[in-house]
Structure 1
Amino acid sequence: MDALDRLAEPGLDLLRRVDTLLAAGAPEGHRLWPLLRRMQVLPGEALRSFLGLRPAPLAGAGHAVRRHIHGYDHACAALTDPPLWSGSAAAAYGQSRAMLLRHLDEGPESLVGRLEATAGYADALADWVEGSRLAVARTLAEVIGSAEAVAVLTATSPGRVPSHSGPLSPGEAAAAEIAARVLAVLCVAYDGAETLLRQWAPSLAESPWRPESARFRPDNGPAPGARSTRIGW
């Protein structure tokens, strides 16, 4: 349980009240409006969805991906030893073996390179979730103890019915301020996720199989690795 978990119950209760008051509107020109247009959700629902994000599953995914790299290491080791035979067939096999080695583990575009990038991306997302949860927790702690929260609680106390016409009440204005602060920190969090995706996207692309050029093809036939060899008894 982290700080956000401890603040979740009072935070959700406050934001439920905020959402109720926002049904009457918000001050014209308030900074809440562009945040609402961007997020397309009220702060209570936004927080409820964000609470489901946990760093542990993402960190675990990174560890799981890295375990697969060891299997590629074994495959590469088996392909590294040259065959104890010679001739045209051995030469063709050698070319195919070298191509496969490069495809498996040579540079960031190899299969191992892509696995390492995928694990790194999972780690980066785990760090993003952890940092974002802390930032949201700090904002929740601030708004829960704010004067605006007192105004919201007063306006939504039993027996009080929010007005849906006329000037906005102090409680409704306070609700708009709390909503803006919560949605702002969530916007920053999601911007961080989009930035991570843009940064990592090139490293997460498909690892293409690149056969050798025609100059390495025996008799101008298919490139080694681009054809199947069947052995039967």
Structure 2
Amino acid sequence: MDTLDRLAEPGLDLLGRVDTLLAGGAPEGHRLWPLLRRMQVLPGQAVREFLDLHPAPLAGAGHAVRRLVRGYDDTCAVLADEVAWSGPAAAAYDEARAALLRHLDEGPESLVGRLESTAGYADALADWVEGSRLALARALAEVLRSAEAVTVHAATRPGVEAGRSGAVAAAEIATRVLGVLGVAYDGAENLLRQWGPSLAETTWRERPAGAIHYGGTTRIGP
């Protein structure tokens, strides 16, 4: 449990009240409107969905992907062993073996390269989630002790008619919360743009060097 989890209950209670006040619309001309148009969600619902994001599963996925590399390493070690034979069949085998080795583990477009990129992307996402949860926790801590929070609670008491002051206070809180989430989502999009090229499907890059000649003599041994 991190700081955001500990603030979740009081934070969601306050943001639920904010959502209620904003259901009838934010004050005209308020700086909240561009955020609402962009995010297409009220702050309470946005935070509730963000609470489901945790860094541990992503970090675990990165570790799991890296463990797969060991299997490729074992396969490459077998392929790297030279076979004591010669002739056209041996030459064709050596060419295919070298091509497969390059496809498995040579450069960022190899299978191992793609696995390492996938693991790196998972690690980067885990760091993004951790940093974003911390930033959101700080924002919630600030709004929970703000004067606007007092106004929102007063405006949402049973039997109290919410006035303009309640709507303005709710809009201020929503702006702070959605602003932090907007920055977080920008970070996620930047990560996807940064890592996207190295996560593309790898393809077989080799082409036969020449025609294979059959009918020659194959020799086994040195």
Normalised by the length of structure 1, the TM-score is: 0.89
The residue identity in structure 2 corresponding to 1:22 is L
Stretch of structure 1 that moved more, 124-133 or 168-177: 168-177
Partner of 2:180: 185
Partner of 1:125: 125
Stretch of structure 1 that moved more, 10-19 or 27-36: 27-36
SS in 1 for 2:85: coil
Tell me the CA shift for residue 81 of structure 1: 1.0
Identity %: 74
Partner of 1:172: 167
Question: Which runs of 5 or more structure 2 residues have no equivalent in the other structure?
Answer: 215-222
Tell me the CA shift for residue 161 of structure 1: 3.5
Q: What is the rounded CA distance, in whole Å, between the counterparts of 1:13 and 1:160 in structure 2?
A: 18
Q: Deviations over 1:88-135 (max 9, x none)?
A: 000000000000000000001100000000000000000000000000
How many residue pairs end up in the alignment? 214
Tell me the CA shift for residue 24 of structure 1: 2.6
Q: Residues 189, 31 of structure 1: CA spacing in aligned structure 2 closer, same or farther, 3 A cutoff?
A: same
Partner of 1:63: 63
Tell me the CA shift for residue 207 of structure 1: 1.0
Q: Residues 142, 220 of structure 1: CA spacing in aligned structure 2 closer, same or farther, 3 A cutoff?
A: farther
Work out which of the residue numbers 198, 201, 208 in structure 2 matches 1:203: 198
The residue identity in structure 1 corresponding to 2:123 is D
Q: What is the rounded CA distance, in whole Å, between the counterparts of 2:200 and 2:24 in structure 1?
A: 47
SS in 2 for 1:218: coil
The residue identity in structure 1 corresponding to 2:210 is R
Q: Deviations over 1:159-193 (max 9, x none)?
A: 2133xxxxx52111100000011000000001000
Tell me the CA shift for residue 220 of structure 1: 8.8
Tell me the CA shift for residue 79 of structure 1: 0.4
Q: What is the rounded CA distance, in whole Å, between the counterparts of 1:25 and 1:220 in structure 2?
A: 78
Q: What is the rounded CA distance, in whole Å, between the counterparts of 1:53 and 1:7 in structure 2?
A: 15
SS in 2 for 1:212: coil
Q: What is the rounded CA distance, in whole Å, between the counterparts of 1:220 and 1:201 in structure 2?
A: 42
Partner of 2:218: none
1:46 paired with 2:77, answer: no
5 Å matches for 1:54-133? 54-133=54-133
Tell me the CA shift for residue 211 of structure 1: 2.4
- Is this contact kept in 1: 2:92–2:212, CA < 8 A? no
SS in 2 for 1:200: helix
Which segments of structure 1 move beyond 3 Å, counting only runs of 4 or more? none
Partner of 1:228: none
Alignment RMSD, CA only? 1.3
Q: Residues 71, 219 of structure 1: CA spacing in aligned structure 2 closer, same or farther, 3 A cutoff?
A: closer
Q: What is the rounded CA distance, in whole Å, between the counterparts of 2:92 and 2:213 in structure 1?
A: 12
Q: What is the rounded CA distance, in whole Å, between the counterparts of 1:161 and 1:115 in structure 2?
A: 58
Q: Deviations over 1:188-220 (max 9, x none)?
A: 00100000000000110111102224xx12259
- Is this contact kept in 1: 2:88–2:213, CA < 8 A? no
Question: Which runs of 5 or more structure 1 residues have no equivalent in the other structure?
Answer: 163-167, 222-233
